[in-house]
Amino acid sequence: MTPIAANSLLLARVQRIFFALLIVVSSIFASAPIVSAQAQLPEISAADSIRLPANFDLVDFYLITVDVGDQVWDNFGHTALRVVDRNTRSDLVFNWGLFDASEGNVVFASNFLQGILNYQLGVSPPSWEFGRYEREQRTVWQDKINLTNAQKETLYKRLAWNLREENIVYSYQYFFDNCTTRVRDYLNEALGGRLESENRALARSTFRDEVQSHYASIPAVAVSLDILMNGRIDRRMTQFEELFLPAQLRRELLSFPSDVLRNGQRVTMLEEPTVIMEFTPPTAQASGYYFVGAGLFAVVVFLFLMLRRVPLSSFSSQPGFTLRAAQLSYRVMGLLTLLLSIASGIYGSIMSFGWLASAHLDLHHNLNLLLFWPTDLLGAYFAVRWLIAGRSYTMSSTLHNVIILYFILHILAALAYVFVALTGIAEQEVASVLLYLVPSLIAFGILVWNAGFSPVRRMRFS
């Protein structure tokens, strides 16, 4: 077969792979399910057996709002409910943010990835609860909730139901069933559904917007979550759904009219705002995409400037490309390859495992799987070779052809990614990835393809 015929056949195969890839991707991502609607609260069984306070005029409920922290798990803030019963002189804080980590970090992380998130209700004195936030240096606000006695009774019964052994533990969902939505939904129930019915309009932001905003102080986490979460979080929330955010729930209730009348006028749901403690919140940082994108682009440009063509010079080598100042350039390429291989392989593994085995639907059918493959972890081997040797990696022609095919498939997948993203087939927000990462990743793949490997030329004598 002549070289021209071989190239034509390869081009035809590549085109078929590319268009087949587009068809598969389009069918997968066009059918992505939307986020499910808010579930109704379970009925309070055996409500008559609940022992109620003698006088609800002596029972007060307080909304406890905790500012965001500087850890991965507290960047959305926190909500709790304080119940003061002067009938029995009790003062307790109801907190739905407790979980059992006694099995160890590895087991907890594995369960979290699978979507096994068993959180539970905890009840403690205010001194213990506030002491924890003081140690974490997080601002805490307290607001008295204005409810009628009938509404207080409904809320009290729901809390008593939640304290039953079979109801204490619940399946945590970060957007739809968390410490804040528990308070929101219980208040909505006490108000006869009015909080939800008057907040049906669409909010301005999407779930992804809020994730990026609340992790602005931890750019690496913000970028990772942006990559790992799919298009389910890209629809605009309703105003009621937006109340999964502690600060937003407090903001809404501060102006929401209650059913309590004072001097013939309805008062707002919250009053007597008190700052229990105050600290400086974490500082928002520049987007992680700026640093990653700029760094990646600068290194790729440097390596392209080092690129030069090598003519046929010996019987053991073939013409191709290499890098000038090889000891430096190949080590730079090796370091970047090592970082990208590990990051891409980990992202790809999480998304693949999440799709196959996790209850986190926000990890399924992710468009970014076209860019980040679990098999990219194998690239770390070649990266280490470049770091140690400071030159291209010499290999057999067979292995070289396998690697080139891998690069061709990766670049085709990246081009399919661009097509799907620009046409909106996936309905997944990937603008930052598309702008800051994809061009440099494609360019770097082409560079490594051409300069990173040297096939050994075998001579046959007849």
User: What pLDDT sits at residue 75?
Assistant: 85
pTM, entire model:
0.84
The domain ranges of the chain are: 3-31+286-455, 47-201+239-277
User: What pLDDT sits at residue 29?
Assistant: 42
77: left (phi over 0), alpha (psi -120 to 50) or beta: left
User: What pLDDT sits at residue 297?
Assistant: 97
* pLDDT tens across the length of the chain (462 residues): 444 444 455 445 545 544 444 443 443 344 344 444 445 899 998 888 999 999 999 999 999 999 998 777 788 999 999 999 999 999 999 999 987 766 666 666 667 667 678 899 999 999 999 999 999 999 999 999 999 999 999 999 999 999 999 999 998 888 999 999 999 999 999 999 999 999 999 999 999 999 999 999 999 999 999 999 999 999 999 999 999 999 999 999 999 999 999 998 999 999 999 999 999 999 989 999 999 999 999 999 999 999 998 765 544 445 578 999 999 999 999 999 999 999 999 999 999 988 888 777 888 899 999 999 999 999 999 999 999 999 999 988 899 999 999 999 999 999 999 999 999 888 899 999 999 999 999 999 999 999 999 887 655 544
3-state secondary structure the chain: CCHHHHHHHHHHHHHHHHHHHHHHHHHHHHCCCCCCCCCCCCCCCCHHHCCCCCCHHHEEEEEEEECCCCCHHHCCCEEEEEEEECCCCEEEEEEEEEECCCCCHHHHHHHHHHCCCEEEEEEECHHHHHHHHHHCCCCEEEEEECCCHHHHHHHHHHHHHHCCCCCCEEECECCCECHHHHHHHHHHHHCCCHHHHCCCCEEEEEHHHHHHHHCCCCHHHHHHHHHHCCHHHHCEEECCHHHHCHHHHHHHHHHCEEEEEECCEEEECEEEEEEEECCCCCCCCCCHHHHHHHHHHHHHHHHHHHEEEECCCCCCCCCEEEECCHHHHHHHHHHHHHHHHHHHHHHHHHHHHHHHHCCCHHHCCCHHHHCCCHHHHHHHHHHHHHHHHCCCEEECHHHHHHHHHHHHHHHHHHHHHHHHHHHCCCCCCCHHHHHHCHHHHHHHHHHHHHHCEEECCCCCCC
Residue keyed to tokens 């360019």: 443
Amino acid at 205: S
Q: What's the chain's length in residues?
A: 462
